[in-house]
């Protein structure tokens, strides 16, 4: 996204005109944001009720951090429903990412419920979303579930350079096993020549998207430049989660227009891909909401396992978001003729700033 040099160049004149005080205020708010993010990820206890399970569910990844979900509680379980008011129709015109996000969230909820002794099953309801139905039988916590559960508050989309080190074969095996899900195929790509070809598709897709004014408007609508706005709104792409400095909203908006350019983004993605140990590509056997929810579940399990193994992940979905690139992406992953659903890079890197989330009260519905 933005970079520090570009922001400094683009914003210097504005700062000279009197923005320094606002920047100091932003610095103080950044300290408050760190505590805000910690509270969102407070570990669950074994007595966790529905609201706490929903809080853990909302820590799942989702496109543009729109959090396009609503939760409905009942005596039988917890349902997750699509919140179409939070659609991103330009980047996700068929709601593909929306339903993948629901899958990620319901898997978080299921893992958290089982890890706190509440057994049950996930039911996928297609366009209506999914649910976790509680069982009357007492639950027992297996080590694999406990391991994923511990990773939920630690997982993040780490949009940074990785250290380039290869992932051990045993870790690759565990990543692959963690993502086993009916109706979903996953390819782990670790051969450098193939990663390079995926890199080229990511850059090509990014160029297409950045040439689209509607895409750029939609993206900017979901950017949060200041910690105060990120905390107040509880959603969107907070600038420091991509390694950019926090700025007052007015200055961030100006800096974005001045510094966010296709060439610099292409260079960033090239470096990010070149530093990654591998790429995971997911594809549902059946296209449609039910298959996409299943993809989200499989992806979330792999992300949690990666976190448990000390690895970082980040989505590079341009080759699936730009329809003209899907065929080549599918062939590279070994799924010719199918739609690739997600592209996820992985590797080793320090943690970054965590994304905001809305409070549970804002995502629960009784209708």
Are 135 and 216 within one domain? no
Name the DSSP letter for residue 337.
Answer: T
Residue 243 located in a structural domain: yes
In this prediction, residues 122-137 reach a mean pLDDT of 96
Q: Is residue 5 part of a domain?
A: no
The more confidently predicted of residues 6 and 19 is: 19
d(CA 64, CA 237): 6
Q: Which two tokens stand for residue 20?
A: 């320094």
Would residue 360 count as lying in a domain? no
Q: Are 342 and 329 in contact (CB under 8 A)?
A: no
- 128 alpha carbon, distance to own chain's centre: 21
Tell whether 162 is covered by a domain. no
CA-based end-to-end distance of the chain: 38
Which residue range forms the structural domain that includes residue 67?
50-155
pLDDT score of 136: 85
Does residue 264 share a domain with residue 150? no
Q: Are residues 142 and 247 in the same domain?
A: no
CA 220, chain centre distance (Å): 17
**Are residue 150 and residue 182 in the same domain, yes or no?**
no
Q: What is the pLDDT of residue 19?
A: 57
Tally the domains of the chain: 2
Contact 355, 156 (CB under 8 A): yes
- Which tens digit of pLDDT belongs to each residue from 175-232? 999 999 999 999 999 999 999 999 999 999 999 999 999 999 999 999 999 999 999 9
90 assigned to some structural domain: yes
Q: How far apart are CA 312 and CA 303, in angstroms?
A: 8
Give me the percent of the chain exceeding a pLDDT of 90.
89
CA pair distance 244, 225, nearest whole angstrom = 9
Is residue 344 within 8 Å of residue 158, measured between CB atoms? no
Domain CATH for 133: 3.40.109
pLDDT of 226? 97
**How do residues 133-145 score in pLDDT, each as one tens digit?**
999 887 788 999 9
Q: Are residues 140 and 200 in the same domain?
A: no
Pair 121, 181 in one domain? no
Q: Is residue 259 part of a domain?
A: yes
What integer pLDDT is reported at residue 4 of this predicted model?
44
What pLDDT digit, counting tens, does each position of 268-305 carry? 999 999 999 999 999 999 999 999 999 999 999 999 99
List pLDDT tens digits, range 329-339: 999 999 999 99
Please check whether residue 28 lies inside any domain of the structure: no
Same domain? For 200 and 332 the reply is yes
Residue 235 lies in a domain: yes
Task: Flag whether pLDDT at 12 surpasses 80.
Answer: no
136 shares its domain with 197 = no
Report pLDDT for 6. Answer: 46
184 beta partners: 181, 284
Query: What is the β-pairing status of strands 278-284 and 184-189?
Result: antiparallel
CA distances from 130 to 46, 204, 297 (A): 24, 34, 11
Judge if 176 and 139 occupy the same domain: no
Task: Indicate if the pLDDT at residue 16 is higher than 70.
Answer: no
Residues 6+ apart with CB under 8 A from 82: 68, 69, 70, 95, 98, 99, 102, 127, 128, 129
Q: With 80 as the cut, is the pLDDT of residue 30 above it?
A: yes
Percentage with pLDDT > 70 across the chain = 93
CA 276 vs. chain centroid, Å, equals: 17
The CATH number that applies at residue 300 is: 3.40.109.10
Query: For residue range 305-347, what is the model confidence (pLDDT) as tens digits?
Result: 999 999 999 999 999 999 999 999 999 999 999 999 999 999 9
Q: Are 199 and 247 contained in the same domain?
A: yes
279, 302: one domain: yes
At 297 the pLDDT is: 99
The pLDDT of 143-155, averaged and rounded, is 98
Same-domain check for residues 102 and 207: no
User: Does the pLDDT value for residue 8 go beyond 60?
Assistant: no
105 SS3 class: helix
């Amino acid at each position: 996204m933005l970079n520090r040099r570009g922001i400094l160049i683009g914003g210097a004149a504005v700062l000279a005109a009197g923005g320094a005080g606002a920047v100091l205020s932003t610095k103080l708010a950044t300290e408050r944001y760190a505590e805000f993010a910690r509270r969102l990820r407070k570990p669950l206890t074994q007595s966790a009720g529905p609201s706490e399970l929903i809080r853990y569910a909302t820590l799942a990844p989702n496109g543009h951090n729109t959090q396009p979900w609503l939760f409905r509680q009942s005596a039988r379980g917890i349902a997750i429903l699509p919140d179409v008011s939070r659609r991103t129709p330009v980047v996700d015109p068929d709601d593909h990412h929306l339903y993948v996000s629901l899958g990620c969230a319901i898997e978080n909820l299921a893992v958290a419920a089982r890890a706190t002794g509440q057994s049950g099953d996930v039911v996928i309801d297609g366009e209506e979303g999914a649910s976790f139905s509680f069982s009357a039988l007492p639950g027992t916590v297996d080590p694999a579930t406990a391991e994923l559960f511990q990773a939920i508050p630690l997982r993040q989309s780490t949009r940074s350079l990785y250290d380039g080190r290869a992932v051990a074969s045993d870790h690759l095996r565990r990543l692959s096993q963690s993502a086993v899900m009916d109706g979903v195929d996953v390819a782990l790509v670790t051969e450098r020549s193939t990663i390079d070809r995926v890199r080229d598709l990511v850059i090509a897709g990014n160029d297409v998207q950045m040439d689209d004014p509607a895409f750029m408007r939609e993206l900017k609508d979901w950017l949060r430049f200041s910690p105060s706005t990120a905390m107040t709104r509880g959603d969107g792409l907070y600038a420091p989660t991509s390694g950019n400095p926090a700025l007052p909203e007015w200055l961030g908006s100006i800096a974005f227009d001045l510094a966010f350019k296709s060439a610099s983004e292409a260079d960033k993605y090239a470096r990010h891909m070149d530093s990654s140990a591998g790429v995971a590509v997911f594809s549902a056997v059946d296209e449609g909401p039910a298959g996409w929810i299943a993809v989200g579940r499989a992806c979330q399990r792999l992300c949690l396992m990666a976190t448990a193994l000390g690895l970082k992940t980040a989505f590079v979905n341009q080759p699936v978001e730009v329809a003209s690139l899907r065929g080549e992406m599918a062939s590279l992953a070994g799924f010719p003729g199918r739609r690739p659903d997600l592209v996820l890079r992985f590797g080793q890197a320090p943690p970054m700033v965590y994304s905001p989330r809305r409070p549970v009260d804002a995502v629960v519905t009784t209708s």
